[in-house]
Structure 1
Amino acid sequence: MSGAGDLRHRLIHETAISLPDDAGGASTTFLAVDQLWARIESPAGDPSLSAERRLATLIHRITVRAPNTLSRGDRLTLGTRIFAIEALSDPDGRGRFTRCLCREEQT
């Protein structure tokens, strides 16, 4: 990655929160935390079967500027697209960027 000029997509960082429901349990919802500029690299397809239908799972590498508050289990959104964060790394070992391995599901 050459620098901040490669970060062309404005994504919303969301984190999961648990809210009590009326039945005594809890439901999970996502809360917007921050907006980040990001680079989204071409996906690799991994077709997988769900119980009810066939889903195409796309794996993306999304890079954002560090430091940030991203964690595994959070998600990034771009309009109606949702990218679930599976793993995080420091691509150049210098602490300038965070690379996320993200899963996007499409029906």
Structure 2
Amino acid sequence: MRSEFIDPGEFRTEFTLQRVSLMPDGGGGHQESWTETAAFFARIEPISAASRFGAGQMLETVTHRVTMRHRPDIESGMRLVRQERVFDILTVHDPDETGRYLVCRVREDGR
């Protein structure tokens, strides 16, 4: 198995990890409420960008790879926030199965 070298000195971007909670809205539905669960530093790299046109408007989507120290509390469906930017976590995996690092593929909409 080929091991990827990850330099933790490149973890210079501060992120806040958020988890969604569904709150009843009083009308039979629910409203999403995001709560901060942790703050940490990681490395972010852009992977791809795409533009879609629909309903008379453009939708910009950018995907990134975020590499961080291993955390047991992170999973798909959560999100990362950096200043005003929001990244939805799509996938989470341990790149070399050593429990040292995690790599998340994230999506940023509307940039």
C-alpha contact 2:48 2:62 (8 A) present in aligned 1: yes
The one-letter code of the counterpart of 1:5 is: G
Change (3 A) 1:2 1:69: same
Q: CA RMSD in A?
A: 1.5
Q: 2:63 aligns with which of 59, 70, 90?
A: 59
Aligned partners of 1:50 and 1:29: how far apart in 2? 28
Q: How many percent identity over aligned positions? A: 29
| Structure 2 unaligned spans of 5+ | none
2:50 equivalent to 1:80 = no
Query: Please, what TM-score do these two structures have when normalized by structure 2?
Result: 0.87
Larger gyration radius, structure 1 or structure 2? 2
Query: Please, what TM-score do these two structures have when normalized by structure 1?
Result: 0.90
Q: CA deviation at 1:60?
A: 0.2
How many residues end up aligned between the 2 structures?
A: 107
Q: 1:28 aligns with which of 27, 32, 50?
A: 32
Aligned partners of 1:63 and 1:50: how far apart in 2? 32
Which residue matches 1:106? 110
